[in-house]
Structure 1
Amino acid sequence: MKTALDFTEIDAGMLAEVGGKAANLGELTRAGLPVPPGWVLTTEAYRQVAQGLETGGEGLAERARRHLLQAPVPEAVREEIVKSYAALGDDVPVAVRSSATAEDLPFASFAGQQDTFLNVVGAQAVVEAVRRCWASLWTDRAVAYRESNGIDHASVRLAVVVQEMVEAQVAGVMFTANPVTGRRREAVIDASPGLGEAVVSGAVNPDRFRVFDGEILERHAGDKLLAIRSLPGGGTERVETSHDGLCLTDDEVRRLAALGARVEDHYGAPQDTEWAIDRDGTLWLTQSRPITTLYPLPERPRPGLRVYFSVNVVQGVMGPLTPMGQSVFRVISAGGAGLAGHAPADPLDGAPFLTASGERIWLDLTTVVRSRPGRAILPRMLTLGEARAVNIMEGLFEDPRLTLAHTSLRPFLRGLGRFARRVRVPARVLTALTRPAKAVADTVRLGEELDRRLRVPATATPAQRLDHAERVLAGTFPLIISIMPTAITGYALFALASKLSGVPVNEMSDVLRSVPHNPTTEMDLELWDLATRVEPAPFKERTVAELVRLYQEGGLPPVAQREITAFLDKYGHRGVAEIDVGVPRWSEEPAHILGVLANYLRMDGAADLAPDALFARGAREARTAIARVASRARGRGRWRAAVVRFGLGRTRRYAGLRELPKFYLVKTIAAVRHSLLAVGEHLVGLGVLDSAADVFFLDLRETRAALGGGDLRELVAGRRAAHEQERRRRHVPRVLLSDGTEPEALAQPAADGALTGTAASAGTVTGIARVVLDPIGAHLEPGEILVCPSTDPGWTPLFLTAGGLVMEMGGAMSHGAVVAREYGIPAVVGVPHAIDRISSGQEITVNGAAGTVTIPS
C-alpha cells in the first residue's frame, strides 16, 4: 500500500486505505466536481505508528492518545508528508483533516468525531497536525460513538487528508434533503461569512435557505455575530462581526442547490456537504457524506405522491422485521386483501397496499386518503388505535397534491359487501345481540379450528412444510378476522349507551375494567398466580441467566419446574416483538418470563394490592359504573336505562375479544416458525446455511429455491449486518410520504413543554418514572410509572406492578391502553417524544382522564 495518494488516484472503493472522507473527496474529484486539490496520507502510515497499541481494557482512550502523540513518526512517513505537501506549492495553507475507515458510512456519518486543523502552513506544522489527527481517533467522544454503533475499535484505522485551503468569503453546509422533515431533493443551506468551521461547529447563527426545484422556499437571516478567518502564516482567529442582511445572493443559493443535486445524483443518495465561495465567486465543494438520519423510502413506490402508514408503530414493534418476517406479513396481507376481492395473483407478493421500508412494514393509504369514504372512516379508526396519527392524516387531506380522486361510493360499498358476506358479518352481529353464550363459544371453536389447521405431520418434508406455512398464513386472516364483528358489536353498544345516557365515552372507561375473555390479561394473571405457588428461594437468590440454565436443565424446584412448563405450554408461543416470525418465542428463550417471575417474588406489599385482587376490584367498579350510567339514562326515559344495561352488559362480555385475533395470529406465526426451523435444519445439512435460524434471513421464495442446494451464507451474513444496523435506528415515522417527508415533523411542539396525549385509562397517579426501551430484563418497582415507546402483549406482565403508563404510540384501543384499563392503572398514550422528555427517577403525574403528563419544574 502506498503511503500517500493524490485525490485523483482515489475512488470510493478505497475505504480501507484512505478512510471515508478521503474516499469521498477522491470520488468527487474524479467525477469532475469542484474540489480543492489535495492528497491523503493512507492508513498504512497510521498502522506503522500505532503498532503495539492495545485496543482494549481500562483507560483505552487516554492510553491510545498518549501513544500516538509520543511515538516517533517513521522517517519514511515523514519524508512522504514533506514531499507531498511541497508538491502543492511553497508553504501553501492547507486543511489537515482526519479520515477514518469508520466514517462517512451509509449508516453512521461520524461527523465531528475526529479532529480537523485549518490553515496549517509549513511542512513541520503539517507533520504535527497529522500526529494530532491520529490521536483524535481516540478521543472519548470518538470511542463512545464507535461503541454505540457496534464498531470494533481494533478494526478502525485513520488516514489524514491534506487539502488546499479556500480563502472563503462565505462558507457553510448544505443538505440535499431536508434533515428535519425528510423531504428529498429539498436543499437546506446554512451559510455565514468566513470559514465554514463557524457553521459546522455551531459557533454562529447562520443564514438559512431552503430550495426545491429551483424555487427558494425560505430565506432566514441569522445574526452571524462571529466569523472564523485565516491568519497570515497559519492558524485561524475568531472575529466578531456585524453583517446585516443575507450573506448569499439568490443566484448563489440556486448555484449551490444545483451543485448539491449533482453530488446527490452522482452518489444516488442524499448528501451532507460542506462548501465555500472564494473571493472570486468560485464555488468549491470541500466535503460530502451520506445523510445517515433519513428514514429510507419504500422499496416499490408508485407514481405520484404516496402516503404510507407504519404497521410496526401500530403493533408496538419499533425494531425491524427479519426478511422472513416481512415475507410472512405479505402472505397474511394477501389473505386479507382477498376478503375484499383484491387478492394478488401470487400470495407471496402480498397485498398491493403493502410495502417495506427500513425493514419495516407499511400500508399504502394513498387511495384511502384520496377517497371520500376513506376520509370519513380513517380518522375514526385511528382514534381507537393510533390517535397521534389522526391530526397528521387530517392535515394531509388539505395537501393540494392529495386532492380527492375517488368520489364514488360504489367501489367502497362493493368491497365492503364482499367482506361482510365472506366474514358473515350480519349473522355474527345478530348472534352477538341475541345469543351471547354462543357468540363467545364460536370464538373458542375458531381457536380449535386454528389449532387443527396448524398441525403438521412429523414426517412432512421441507417442501411440504413450506406448502403448509403458505397455506395457513394466507388462510389465517380470514379465519381470525371473523371474531371482530362480535367485538365491534360490543364497542358499538358502548357508544350507543353513551348517546342514550348523555355520559361522554371518556367518563365511561370504568365499564371496561377487568373484562373477561381477554387472552392477554388472562395470561398475565395466570403468571401472577403462578408466582404465588412456586418455591421463591431460587428466584430471590439467582440471576436470570442462572434461572434459565436451571429451568432448561430441569433443575428448578419441582413445583416451579412443573408450573412454568405448563405456563409455557399454553403461552410459550408469545414473546416480545412476536409479530416477527424471526423472533424467538418464550418457549425457546424463557429469560423474560423468568425475570418477571423473579420481580414478582421480590415484591412486598399488602394482599389487597396484588394484581388478582385489583382485577376483582375492577370488575366490581365496572358493575358500579354500569349502574351509574343506567341511572343517568333513566332520567331521560325508563326504556333508555334498560337498553343501556343491556348494551353495556354485552360490551363487557365482548370487549376482551378485541385481543383474540392477535392471540390467534401470533399462535399461527409461532407454528410457522417451528416449521421453518425444521426447514432451516435441513438447509444446514445441505450446506446452504450455517444455522437453522439463518432461514429467517431469507424469504419464503428464497427458502423454497434453497431446497435445491447452493450456498447462501454470505447473503445471510450481509442481511444480518443490515438488520443489526436497522435495530440501532432511533426514530421510526408513523406516517411517511413517498418524497421522504414525515408529516409529523412539520408540527411544532407545544411551547410550554406540556406533555399531552390520548386519555387511555382514567385515574391520576404521581410516582417515579421508569423509562423502559426493552422489556426483556427490565425491572419495575411496584408503583413506578412505566414510560415506553409502545407495547405489544409481550410487555404486559410489567403492567401488573406498574402504578401508571405513558406511551409514545397508540390510541385508546391499542394493546397497552386496553390492558391498562383492565388493570385500573392510569394511562396516557400517544405522547410525543415521551422517552426523550421524561427521565427515569423523575417524579411525574399521569392524568389518565385528561390525557396529560406533568413533570414538576
Structure 2
Amino acid sequence: MPAESRFVLDFADIDAGMLPEVGGKAANLGKLARAGLPVPPGVCVTTDAYRQAADAAPGLAGIIEELTATAPDDLPRLTELAGRAREVLLAAPLPAEVAAAVADGYRGMDAVAVRSSATAEDLPFASFAGQQDTYLNVVGETAVLDAVHRCWASLWTDRAVTYRAANGIDHGAVRLAVVIQRMVQSAVAGVLFTANPVTGRRREAVIDASPGLGESVVSGTVNPDHFVVDTATGRIRDCRLGDKKTSIRGVRGGGVEHVTTPGDTGRACLTDAQVRAVAVLGARVEASYDGPQDIEWAIDPEGTLWLTQARPITTLYPLPAARDGLRAYLCVTLAQGLIRPITPLGLATFRLFSSSVAELFGRPLADPVAGAAAGAQAGLRMFVDLTGVLRSPAGRMIVPRLFDVMEARAAVVMRSLFDRPEFALTRRSVLPFVARLADVAVRHRLPLHAVRALRNPQRVRRDLDALADRARRRLDLPAGTTAATRLDQAEQVLVHEGFTAVMPIAAPAALAGFGMLALAGRLVPDLAPGELQTVLRGLPNNVTTEMDLALWHLAGRIRGAGETLGADSGTLAGHYHAGTLPPVAQQGLADFLDRYGHRAVAEIDLGLPRWSEDPRHVLGVLLNYQRLDDPAAAPDAVFAAAAREAEETIATLTGRARGGLRRRAVRFALDRARALAGLREFPKYYFVVVLAAARRQYAAVGAELAAAGRIDTADDVFFLDLPEIRAALAGRDQHAVVAARRAEYDREMRRRQIPRVLLSDGTEPERELPRPAAPDGALAGTPASAGTVTGPARVILDPVGAHLEPGEILIAPSTDPGWTPLFLTAGGLVMEMGGANSHGAVVAREYGIPAVVGVPDATTLLHTGRQITVDGATGLITRAG
C-alpha cells in the first residue's frame, strides 16, 4: 500500500469497521458520509501515522508502561506521567512521509477543523467526548501540520489519561487518528441529542442552538436556545430561549474569536422549520446506527444544514425488548440490593425461578426456560413488567405499600405514574384479585401453615431447614452423571422446588409474626413512636444474623488461641486452600464454610463464586474483627443486649395492657412476633442454597465443555444461557458468544446509575421527581433504625476486601447478606437503596445500629473520612463542618 494511502484516507473510503485505523470519530463520519448524509468533506490521518510519530518519540513506550501500572485513583502520578508523554511526543519531529501525506490530503480545503479521533472514542459504552483536542478554522499547510501534531499529544492530556484509567481502557492499546474536515462557517450551530439525556425518553430530540460556531454550545460558554421535539409527530414540545450573549466565529486567515453581543432573549436563533429539520436529521442518523446519538450540526449562511459529528449517547440505560404500548418495568435485581449486572446464566436462573412463581400461583408455564411473560431484561439486569399492577386497583393498593417498607423510593416512583393516561385503571373491581388470592391460600393451605407456626415456631424452623437440606441432596449428583442430566436436574429443582416449596411454609409464618406484632399494637395503649419495633431487636431464627454471629465467634476463638491473621485476605485465602492457616483458624473457617459457604456477596447471581470457592471476603471480615478491642462493643454482647431490651419492652407493654386476658394476649402476640419475624430472611436463604447447589452442576458442565474445546474455561459457562449450553453440548463452538457476553458484562460493571423504574420509551421517571426535602446541607432518606451516631463516613461500593474501622459509618449503594458481617463493627449505616423493612434495615435494627436508607446518590455526595451524623429516627444525615 502506498504511504499516502496508509497515512491519509478520504471519508468516502472509510467504513464503520475501520475503527483501529481511523478512530471512533472518523469511523462515524465515514459511515455517515457513505450513507448520503450532509457531512462536510474531509480526510482522516490514520493511526498508522500516529504510530510512526510515537515510535520516533524517545521514551514514550516506557511512560505508557508506567501509566499501565499506576492505580486509577492515583491522580498525581497519572497527571505527572501524562505531562511527560505530551512533552516527548511534541518534541519529536513529524516523520517526513507523514507530513507529505497530510499536506496532500489537506490540499484544496482552505479553512478546516482539525479534530482528534481516538480508537477508544465515540464507542457504544464510552464516548470520551471532549477528552482530546479540537482546532477550528485552521488555515494553511503549516498550521494544519501543527494542529495534527498537537492532536496527537492530546491523547495524553490529564483528562484523557484519567478518563481511560477510570473506565478500564488500556493506555497501551489506544491510538489516535486525526480528522481534517472542511470548516462550516456557520450562521447558527449546536448540538442535538436524539433521545432526552435527562429523562432517558427515546424519540424526543433535545436541541441546543446559538449563533456562530457550535463550539460555544459544546464548551458551555453561552446560554443557548433550547428546544424539545417529539420526533414521531414533529411537534415542538418545549422552547426556552437563552441570552446568546457570546458567540464564537472564524477569523479571516485562521483562528477564531469570541464575540460578546447585547444578546437576544426575545427571538429564537432557529425557525420552527429549522428546528424540525435538525430533528429529522437526527432521526436519520439514529436510524443509521440503530441507537440514540449525540450530534453536532451547523447551518451555513446560505441556510444549508450540515452534520459535523455524531457519537452514541452512552449514558442512556438499555431498553427491554419491545412490547406493544408504553410499559413500566421495575428493576428486580436493584430492589434486591444489586447494582452490578447479573451473568447470563444468572439471568437464565431468574427466568426459571419466575416459572416457579407462576407454578406457585397455579399457572405453570409451557416453557419454564423462557420464564414468565412479565419478566424482562436490559443491561444484564432483571426487570418485571409493572404495567398490569399500575392498571389494577388491587395492584395500586398493595404493591406500593409493600415497597414503602422494602424500597421506599421505588414506591414513590410507582405512585408518580398513577396519573399518566397510559397507566389508567383498566379494571375497577378487586374481586378477581381476591378470588385468585383465596385460591392460592386454599391450594397451599396457607391459613393452616400460619396456625401451625403460631402453635410451634421451632417446628416451622426445623421444617424449613429440612427443605434446604433436601434441595442440596437433590442436586448432589455423582461424578459420572452426564452433562444433560445435570442440566435437567438443576432445571427441575429450580422450577419445581423453588418458591413453590418454601413460600407456602415461610411466608405464612413470617406474616403471622408481623400480624401478631400489629395485633399487640392495637391492644396496648399509649404506644410511643418506635416502641413496638424495639420488640424486633436481637431476633432469634434469623439465618443472616446467626451467620454474622457465627463468624464473630470464630474470630473470638482465633483470638483466644493466640493466633493472628496478619496477611491480606488474598494471601490468607491461598493459605486456607493449602491447609496452612493456623490450626484453629483453619478448622474454624472450614466449619463456617461447611455451614455458610453457599453464600456470597451478590449471591442472587448464580454466576458468581460462593464463599466456599473464594473465602477472601470472609477472611477480610475476620481481619476487620481483629481491630475491635472494646468488650462492650463486641457484636455478641450488643446482640444479647438488644435481645434483653426487646424482652424488657415486652414486659413493659404486657404490663400496660388492661385486664388479665388482654395482658396474656399481648404477651403471646409479642412472643410469637419475636419467634416468627426472623423467618422473613429464610426464603432468600433457601433461594441461595438452591442456587449454590445448581452452580456446582453448571460448573461441572462447564468443565466438560472446556475439555471439549467449545469454551475456553469452565467459568465461561456462566456467560451462556441454557439453550446455548445445550447447543454447546451438541457440538456448537461458543467462544465468540462468550467473548461478546464478557465484554458486555465488563461494560455494565462500570455503570453506576441503574433505574429503579424504567419505561419502555426510555424514560426514567425518578429523574423527573424532586429530591426528598431536607434542611440545607443535609441528605434525607427513610428512617430505618432509630438512634443517632456521629463518626467518620466510609464509602464502600464492594464489600470484598473492604476496610471498615470500628465505629465508622458504612455508606453503601445497597446491601445483601454478604455485606452484613461488616455491620457488626459499623457505627451506623446509610444506603442509597432500601426501605424500612428491607434487608439492611432489618439487620441494622437487630444490631441496634442507627440507619437511614433510600438516600439518593449517598455514595457520591458523602466522602470517606468526612464526619457525619446519622439520625435513624428522622432519616437525616448531616455533614460536620
State whether residues 830 and 853 of structure 2, in contact with CA within 8 Å, keep that contact through their aligned partners in structure 1.
yes
> What amino acid sits opposite 1:541 in the alignment?
G
Partner residue of 1:510 out of 534, 539, 543 = 534
- Distance in 1 (alpha carbons) for counterparts of 2:730 and 2:528: 62
* 1:241 matched to 2:261: yes
Displacement of 1:539: 4.0
Displacement of 1:321: 0.7
State whether residues 627 and 806 of structure 2, in contact with CA within 8 Å, keep that contact through their aligned partners in structure 1.
no
Correspondence 1:128-207 to 2 at 5 A:
128-207=146-225
**Residue 66 of structure 2 corresponds to which residue in structure 1?**
57
* 1:744 matched to 2:777: no
- Distance in 2 (alpha carbons) for counterparts of 1:8 and 1:688: 40
* 1:46 matched to 2:50: yes
Partner residue of 1:707 out of 720, 729, 733 = 729
**Residue 241 of structure 2 corresponds to which residue in structure 1?**
221
- Distance in 1 (alpha carbons) for counterparts of 2:840 and 2:460: 25
Q: Deviations over 1:72-118 (max 9, x none)?
A: 21222212222221132xxx111100011111000000100100000
Displacement of 1:689: 1.5
Partner residue of 1:495 out of 515, 518, 523 = 518
Displacement of 1:540: 4.6
Query: Does 433-442 or 803-812 show the bigger shift?
Result: 433-442
Query: Does 524-533 or 699-708 show the bigger shift?
Result: 699-708
Q: Deviations over 1:162-183 (max 9, x none)?
A: 1111111221111010111100
State whether residues 94 and 119 of structure 1, in contact with CA within 8 Å, keep that contact through their aligned partners in structure 2.
yes
Partner residue of 2:36 out of 10, 32, 35 = 32
Check 1:190–1:537 CA distance in 2 against 1; reply closer, same or farther (3 A cut): farther
Query: Does 595-604 or 785-794 show the bigger shift?
Result: 595-604
- Distance in 2 (alpha carbons) for counterparts of 1:766 and 1:166: 59
Correspondence 1:640-659 to 2 at 5 A:
640-659=662-681
Correspondence 1:668-687 to 2 at 5 A:
668-687=690-709
> What amino acid sits opposite 2:174 in the alignment?
V
- Distance in 2 (alpha carbons) for counterparts of 1:281 and 1:87: 23
- Distance in 2 (alpha carbons) for counterparts of 1:399 and 1:10: 46
- Distance in 2 (alpha carbons) for counterparts of 1:217 and 1:753: 35
> What amino acid sits opposite 2:833 in the alignment?
M
Correspondence 1:280-295 to 2 at 5 A:
280-295=302-317
- Distance in 2 (alpha carbons) for counterparts of 1:537 and 1:289: 61
State whether residues 510 and 762 of structure 1, in contact with CA within 8 Å, keep that contact through their aligned partners in structure 2.
no
User: What SS does structure 1 have at the residue aligned with 2:637?
Assistant: helix
Displacement of 1:148: 1.7
Check 1:787–1:559 CA distance in 2 against 1; reply closer, same or farther (3 A cut): same
> What amino acid sits opposite 1:232 in the alignment?
R
Query: Does 410-419 or 826-835 show the bigger shift?
Result: 410-419
> What amino acid sits opposite 1:126 in the alignment?
V
- Distance in 2 (alpha carbons) for counterparts of 1:677 and 1:523: 26
* 1:533 matched to 2:551: no
User: Structure 1: where are the runs of 5+ without partners?
Assistant: none
Check 1:620–1:155 CA distance in 2 against 1; reply closer, same or farther (3 A cut): same
Q: Deviations over 1:496-543 (max 9, x none)?
A: 322333537744221110100001000000100000111576645222
Check 1:545–1:438 CA distance in 2 against 1; reply closer, same or farther (3 A cut): closer
- Distance in 2 (alpha carbons) for counterparts of 1:646 and 1:409: 34
**Residue 85 of structure 1 corresponds to which residue in structure 2?**
106
* 1:275 matched to 2:323: no
**Residue 319 of structure 1 corresponds to which residue in structure 2?**
340
Check 1:540–1:432 CA distance in 2 against 1; reply closer, same or farther (3 A cut): closer
State whether residues 423 and 478 of structure 1, in contact with CA within 8 Å, keep that contact through their aligned partners in structure 2.
no
Check 1:827–1:187 CA distance in 2 against 1; reply closer, same or farther (3 A cut): same
Q: Deviations over 1:791-822 (max 9, x none)?
A: 01000000000011000001111110111011
* 1:722 matched to 2:744: yes
**Residue 74 of structure 2 corresponds to which residue in structure 1?**
none
Q: Deviations over 1:451-506 (max 9, x none)?
A: 34333233321111111100110022111212111001111222232233353774
Partner residue of 2:547 out of 512, 515, 523 = 523
State whether residues 628 and 634 of structure 2, in contact with CA within 8 Å, keep that contact through their aligned partners in structure 1.
no
> What amino acid sits opposite 2:156 in the alignment?
W
State whether residues 705 and 711 of structure 2, in contact with CA within 8 Å, keep that contact through their aligned partners in structure 1.
yes
Q: Deviations over 1:597-618 (max 9, x none)?
A: 111113222x121000000100
**Residue 601 of structure 1 corresponds to which residue in structure 2?**
626
Displacement of 1:38: 1.2
State whether residues 785 and 873 of structure 2, in contact with CA within 8 Å, keep that contact through their aligned partners in structure 1.
yes
- Distance in 2 (alpha carbons) for counterparts of 1:120 and 1:629: 82
- Distance in 2 (alpha carbons) for counterparts of 1:610 and 1:589: 27
Displacement of 1:619: 0.6
**Residue 381 of structure 1 corresponds to which residue in structure 2?**
402
Query: Does 820-829 or 42-51 show the bigger shift?
Result: 42-51
State whether residues 227 and 239 of structure 1, in contact with CA within 8 Å, keep that contact through their aligned partners in structure 2.
yes
State whether residues 360 and 499 of structure 2, in contact with CA within 8 Å, keep that contact through their aligned partners in structure 1.
no
- Distance in 2 (alpha carbons) for counterparts of 1:542 and 1:445: 38
RMSD of aligned Cα (Å): 1.7
- Distance in 1 (alpha carbons) for counterparts of 2:733 and 2:357: 35
TM-score for the superposition, normalised by structure 1 = 0.97
- Distance in 2 (alpha carbons) for counterparts of 1:639 and 1:10: 87
State whether residues 447 and 664 of structure 1, in contact with CA within 8 Å, keep that contact through their aligned partners in structure 2.
yes
- Distance in 2 (alpha carbons) for counterparts of 1:422 and 1:547: 51
Query: Does 325-334 or 681-690 show the bigger shift?
Result: 681-690
Identity of aligned residues (%): 58
State whether residues 511 and 622 of structure 1, in contact with CA within 8 Å, keep that contact through their aligned partners in structure 2.
yes
Query: Does 530-539 or 701-710 show the bigger shift?
Result: 530-539
User: What SS does structure 1 have at the residue aligned with 2:666?
Assistant: helix
- Distance in 2 (alpha carbons) for counterparts of 1:819 and 1:838: 22
**Residue 855 of structure 1 corresponds to which residue in structure 2?**
879
**Residue 380 of structure 2 corresponds to which residue in structure 1?**
359
User: What SS does structure 1 have at the residue aligned with 2:243?
Assistant: coil
**Residue 10 of structure 2 corresponds to which residue in structure 1?**
6
TM-score for the superposition, normalised by structure 2 = 0.94
- Distance in 1 (alpha carbons) for counterparts of 2:394 and 2:566: 59
